[in-house]
């Protein structure tokens, strides 16, 4: 079987609190994607504690790597290159995956590839579906307008090709996922708040409360979610959150305000940049209403929509492996001296 299989890369992701490893072929096919989540550990603190995250990465990293290779049916000597997220993220977490991948590359005399976490998200809407891969090389990434919407970032990028990214707009304050998490905390909902608000919003009225939509003037592609967050804070003393219906209504109305801004600006940006394809990625792209609204709006605008599959929307190593495959195909390789960078940028 291994005779007909294209070469494989092992990719590691430890930018925050997920310890993840994945084996991806140079055709872009994901053979395995293991994610060890620390969510239960950090929930007690209401957020991620960097030192705790780093220590846990050390404890499970080796096991997660072995599991990824085992479920892919690939032995270590068969791996042709090693990749790891090198930023942005928590420096003490990034160091664990990066050091592990460098050590494996050094020991096996194989290439090492430092990958930008945001590039992993950015390219993930184009990840090859099971059985879709043909030949030895992944299909090229088409030009498109990308929305990355996660716990740390909210940005619009004009993508001309792999490594050719122009920033169209980003958030001036909170990322959309951060707004979900902070509002959920205010409402007394468990961490992480995004999935919880999503779940409750399905039973709530989207027009129950009027929340602000910021910076909606034509041609403005920046985002701001702090006004919306404050509006929810001011509403709290006036309502009874012990009432299930009220709680669901606040969730649905808040969620609608975030999503309306994201969808409108992304579709307008695609039109302005002459892009016929939109790619949406990052943890918040799991959101049901966001997926529904993007589907409706893109169909209306005649734009092809590529939504990242929910399993690859939140942090995982398969997206890092997929980005590494595309970088690898361009001949990209990183020196082992390369450092992690908690503020690594995707542009310039």
Which residues bind to Zn ion, rule: CB under 5 A?
150, 315
Looking at the Cβ atoms of 20 and 252, the one nearer to Zn ion is: 20
Residue 214's nearest CA partner among 142, 264, 249, 251 is 264
Q: Per-residue contact track with ligand KG4, 309 to 348, x per CB under 6 A?
A: -----xx---------------------------------
Element (H, E) at 123: helix 117-123
What values do phi and psi take at 37, rounded to 5? -90, 145
Cα(163)–Cα(161) distance, integer angstroms: 6
E strands present in 28-76:
30-37
3-state DSSP helix/strand/coil % of the chain, to nearest 5: 45, 20, 35
In the range 184-213, which residues lie near ligand KG4 by CB under 6 A?
A: 192-195, 198
> What is the length of the chain?
348
Bridge partners, 47 (sequence order): none
Looking at the Cβ atoms of 198 and 315, the one nearer to Zn ion is: 315
Burial 196-230 (b: 16+ CB within 10 A, else e): bbbebbeebebebbebeebeeeeeebbbbbeebbe
Binding partner selected for residue 88 from Zn ion, ligand KG4, none, CB under the kind-specific 5 to 8 Å limit = none
Looking at the Cβ atoms of 181 and 249, the one nearer to ligand KG4 is: 181
Residue 126 is a binding residue for ligand KG4 (CB under 6 A): no
Bridge partners, 280 (sequence order): 147, 307
Question: Applying CB under 6 A, what is the total number of residues that bind ligand KG4?
Answer: 18
E strands present in the chain:
8-13, 18-25, 30-37, 79-87, 112-116, 144-149, 154-161, 164-170, 277-281, 304-307
Residue pair 108/77 in contact by the 8 Å Cβ criterion: yes
Looking at the Cβ atoms of 277 and 317, the one nearer to Zn ion is: 317
Bridging pattern class, strands 277-281 and 304-307: parallel
Looking at the Cβ atoms of 29 and 181, the one nearer to ligand KG4 is: 181
- With contacts defined by CB under 6 A, name the span among 28-36, 56-64, 177-185, 332-340 that binds ligand KG4: 177-185
Binding partner selected for residue 294 from ligand KG4, Zn ion, none, CB under the kind-specific 5 to 8 Å limit = none
In the range 3-32, which residues lie near ligand KG4 by CB under 6 A?
A: none
- With contacts defined by CB under 6 A, name the span among 48-56, 100-108, 148-156, 207-215 that binds ligand KG4: 148-156
Residue 228's nearest CA partner among 239, 241, 213 is 213
Looking at the Cβ atoms of 277 and 284, the one nearer to ligand KG4 is: 284
In the range 267-306, which residues lie near ligand KG4 by CB under 6 A?
A: 282-284, 286-287
Residue 189 makes CB contacts below 8 A (sequence gap 6+) with: 196, 197, 200
Residue 150 is a binding residue for ligand KG4 (CB under 6 A): yes
Smallest distance from ligand KG4 to CB 250, Å: 15
Looking at the Cβ atoms of 303 and 320, the one nearer to Zn ion is: 320
Smallest distance from ligand KG4 to CB 286, Å: 4
Residue 73 is a binding residue for ligand KG4 (CB under 6 A): no
Residues in contact with ligand KG4 by the rule CB under 6 A: 150-152, 177, 180-181, 192-195, 198, 282-284, 286-287, 314-315
């Amino acid at each position: 079987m291994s005779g007909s299989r294209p070469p494989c890369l092992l990719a590691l992701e430890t930018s925050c609190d997920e310890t993840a490893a994945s084996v991806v072929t140079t055709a872009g096919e994901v053979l395995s994607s293991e994610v060890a989540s620390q969510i239960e550990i950090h929930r007690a603190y209401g957020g991620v504690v960097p030192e705790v995250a780093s220590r846990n990465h050390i404890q499970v990293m080796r096991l997660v790597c072995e599991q990824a290779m085992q479920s892919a049916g690939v032995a270590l000597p068969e791996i042709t290159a090693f990749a790891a997220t090198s930023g942005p993220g928590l420096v003490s977490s990034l160091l664990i995956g990066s050091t592990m991948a460098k050590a494996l590359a050094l020991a096996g005399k194989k290439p090492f590839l430092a990958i930008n976490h945001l590039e992993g998200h950015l390219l993930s809407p184009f990840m090859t579906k099971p059985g879709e891969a043909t030949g030895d090389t992944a299909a090229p990434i088409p030009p498109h307008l990308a929305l990355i919407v996660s716990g740390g970032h909210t940005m619009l990028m004009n993508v001309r090709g792999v490594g050719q990214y122009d920033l169209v707009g980003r958030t001036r304050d909170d990322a959309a996922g951060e707004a979900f998490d902070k509002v959920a905390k205010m409402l007394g909902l468990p961490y992480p708040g995004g999935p919880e608000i999503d779940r409750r919003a399905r039973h709530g009225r989207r027009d129950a409360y009027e929340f602000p939509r910021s910076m909606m003037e034509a041609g403005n592609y920046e985002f701001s979610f702090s006004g919306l967050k404050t509006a929810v804070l001011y509403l709290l003393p006036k309502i009874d959150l012990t009432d299930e219906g009220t709680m669901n209504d606040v969730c649905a109305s808040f969620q609608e305000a975030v999503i309306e801004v994201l969808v409108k600006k992304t579709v307008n940006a695609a039109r302005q940049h002459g892009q016929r394809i939109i790619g949406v990625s990052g943890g918040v792209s799991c959101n049901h209403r966001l997926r529904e609204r993007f589907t409706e709006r893109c169909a209306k605008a005649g734009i092809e929509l590529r939504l990242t599959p929910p399993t690859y929307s939140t942090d995982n190593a398969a997206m890092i492996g997929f980005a590494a495959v595309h970088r690898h195909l361009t001949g990209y390789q990183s020196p082992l001296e390369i450092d992690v960078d908690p503020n690594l940028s995707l542009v310039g």
